[in-house]
Amino acid sequence: MELGRFRTWITRLGGYLSILNFGMILYKFVLDDPLGINKEMWILLAVVGVPMIMLFDVIIMMPSELRYSYDKNKRFIDLEKKIDRVLELLGEKEK
């Protein structure tokens, strides 16, 4: 039995549910006119703010996260060494 498979599914499901939960909370928050700001201004803030956060995540956070995960995964490191060795034997490795 592979527990990693189930953990992956549960993590992905949690990600989808968190998006739904965030949307519902945001909807209720905006309807209550918090901080005296009207709905249209909150929608504008969300339309501008969310893409900026996503851009920051894709450009800065995700590569750092992937590099950290990669460096911790012994199989990836071993595979990279094997590929380097094959390329070296073929004479195609850049120096």
Q: Containing domain of residue 46, as a range?
A: 36-95
Please tell me whether residues 27 and 66 are part of one structural domain: no
Q: pLDDT tens per residue, the chain (95 residues)?
A: 688 888 888 998 999 999 999 888 888 887 887 778 888 888 888 889 889 999 999 999 989 988 888 888 899 899 999 999 999 888 876 65
Please report the DSSP string for 37-53 in residue order.
Answer: --HHHHHHHHHHHHHHH
Q: Please state the pTM of the whole predicted model.
A: 0.51
- Amino acid 42 reads W
Q: Token pair of 15, please? A: 């990600």
Please tell me whether residues 42 and 10 are part of one structural domain: no
Number of domains in the chain: 2
Please tell me whether residues 49 and 64 are part of one structural domain: yes
Contact 71, 79 (CB under 8 A): no
Phi, psi (deg, nearest 5) at residue 88: -65, -40
